[in-house]
Amino acid sequence: MLLEAEGLSVTYGRTRAVASVDLAVGEGEIVTVLGANGAGKTSLLRALQGAVKPSRGRIVLGGRDVTAQSSAARVRGGMVLVPEGRQIFVSMSVHENLLMGAYLRRDGSADADIAAIYERFPNLARRRDMKASVLSGGEQQMLAIGRALVARPRLVMLDEPSLGLSPLFVEQLFSLLRDLNRDGIAILLVEQNTTMALELASRGYVFELGEVVLEGSSDRLLGDEALVAAYLGGA
């Protein structure tokens, strides 16, 4: 497995946001994490990326225990997070945002990678010197993903990337995720678009109050009547 979390718990004061979660993502796999607001999905991703320290458990990336490692070390280890709300630097240009993605790279030179991002996202290339604040929501999401890709990840984790996007941009986003996966990048996707996420992923985990209450192949989860009733609006 590329990424493994074992018995992972995240606690804020007396709130247990993530409770003894076991989760794995294989090399080149797409896995989705589903669940209602407050179920602990963001806390899980933040713990995996190293932004929050787990109270218990272990995180293993590419066979190495990274539980005690910094976020920067995990990025260098091949794992990047595209956070909820994108969190791009709005007062910086598109190009400067991409350069920030290269900041953690050991070799320092990211020219070729940034050129590849511009090739993948022609809209970003055209707006290279504009402030990120003038981009549309969909373009900002592409920039956030582009910035993550500059680090040459083996695994990209995304926290509700479709939030606030128009249906057209959501389609583009999912097709981008499919492309990235075809290029060999594994994806751990937290989504509210449950059906689309399960159709993209090969496996899914369903969170409730910090615990995994259901996991399995996407086909199995899509065929689960209770899950469909709870999260897919009975569709």
- Residues paired with residue 156 on neighbouring β-strands, in sequence order: 80, 187
Q: In angstroms, what is the minimal distance from the CB of 106 to ligand ATP?
A: 31
What values do phi and psi take at 82, rounded to 5? -100, 105
192-198-204-210 Cα dihedral, nearest 10 degrees: 10
Q: In angstroms, what is the minimal distance from the CB of 39 to ligand ATP?
A: 4
* SS3 category, 61: strand
Question: And the tokens for 95?
Answer: 């190009």
Nearer to ligand ATP, 43 or 193 (CB): 43
Q: In angstroms, what is the minimal distance from the CB of 205 to ligand ATP?
A: 12
* SS3 category, 165: coil
- CA–CA distance, 165 with 187 (Å, rounded to integer): 20
Question: Hey, CA dihedral for 96, 100, 101, 103, is it positive or negative?
Answer: positive
Nearer to ligand ATP, 40 or 146 (CB): 40
Nearer to ligand ATP, 110 or 156 (CB): 156
Nearer to ligand ATP, 19 or 114 (CB): 19
Listed in order, strand segments (DSSP E) in 36-104 are 56-61, 64-65, 79-82
Q: In angstroms, what is the minimal distance from the CB of 10 to ligand ATP?
A: 8
Q: In angstroms, what is the minimal distance from the CB of 35 to ligand ATP?
A: 6
- CA–CA distance, 116 with 151 (Å, rounded to integer): 12
Nearer to ligand ATP, 4 or 191 (CB): 191
Q: In angstroms, what is the minimal distance from the CB of 128 to ligand ATP?
A: 32
Burial of 93 (0-12, 13-18, 19+ CB in 10 A): middle
- CA–CA distance, 188 with 156 (Å, rounded to integer): 6
Nearer to ligand ATP, 46 or 74 (CB): 46
For ligand ATP, the binding residues (CB under 6 A) are 12, 15, 17, 35, 37-43
Nearer to ligand ATP, 40 or 153 (CB): 40
Q: In angstroms, what is the minimal distance from the CB of 224 to ligand ATP?
A: 19
* SS3 category, 62: coil
